[in-house]
Amino acid sequence: MRALVTGGGGYIGRHVVRQLLDRGDEVVVLGRRAYPEVEAWGARGVQADLARDEPDLPRHLEGVDVVFHVAALPPYHAPYAVFEATNVGGTRRILEACRQAGVPRLVFTSTPSATFDGTDACGITEADAPYPERFLTPYAATKAHAEQLVLAANGPGLATTALRPHLVYGPDEPHMLPRVAQRNRAGRLRVIGDGTNRVGLTYVDTAAAAHLQAADALAEGSANAGKAYFVTDEEPVALWPWLDRFLTGVGEPPIRGRIGLGPARAVGAVCEALWAVLPLGGEPPMTRFVATNLATSHWYDLSGARTDFGFTPVVGGDEGLERTIAWFRAHPIP
């Protein structure tokens, strides 16, 4: 099989590429720049910016059996237009290029944030999670819009499906876990809420394997064509004890202190306002979305993915955390 992976140099995309190559597939990685590491594994790299019109994009997709559209602007602090250009515009462009090049299948990397309304979601199915009337962040809004474009594109000539991996972690995870450790080390991390909320996490190998499982089952009229699915580890975890277990496992101090959700959201609102009007670099230390996300429960019923495309977590949650701790102990967070 010949696969093209957008965002193949990113965290999830890199693991999708690795698993495809390991089973003998031919892989093309499309990104704004070259990724020597994945090319050294045997993937072929092509450069294109999906946030802009790329006349040669259909040519890059010629002869491709499946596209894994993983590329996206991650949930950082940025103007809505920036998210729109990459997450929505880029998805439109890759869908149109698939049609022009005759690509028969596309698997889209979505997110549970596309359905998150700020309230607890415990063991819910895809049918129980409609798109909210009001999105909490530009990232969530644009990923939901992109997911809708992908699912609407399903039809004769192009079968599409979307996956919603949640809070992806693992060895060399570059964003969530290093940030947690750095803020905790600086004394700026507090348990938000009562500390009992449960969440579904996704070990990175499981997230990548879900993409391959979904692609292998996908075809015109297949059970997963035109649908979106939550994918996570088998069981949810209590978030704050899990974070403490990670932190102490890599030699960091445990989390100290607690703040209620209301005060945390108030702090987040102030930070958002300051970052909106002042030339402050980097990310706000708190946002309303982050506060809400860290204080609420959100875990999902996986039966849809199991039934429709044989989704199976490839690594247990405890083993995933132990592998993650071992990697970060060998590669300390600066």
Q: Which residues are catalytic?
A: 139
C-beta separation of 60 from 4 below 8 A: yes
10 Å Cβ neighbour count for 20? Answer: 26
Amino acid at 327: W
Kindly list the distances between the CA atom of residue 67 and the CA atoms of 71, 171, 205, 246, in Å, as whole numbers in the listed order: 11, 25, 19, 34
> Half-sphere exposure of 49 toward its Cβ, with a 13 Å CA cutoff?
4
Which residues on neighbouring strands pair with residue 27, listed in sequence order?
A: 3
10 Å Cβ neighbour count for 37? Answer: 11
φ, ψ of residue 131 to 5 degrees: the values are -65, 135
Kindly list the distances between the CA atom of residue 78 and the CA atoms of 69, 81, 94, 132, 291, in Å, as whole numbers in the listed order: 21, 8, 23, 21, 18
Tracing tokens 């009992």 back to the chain, one arrives at 196
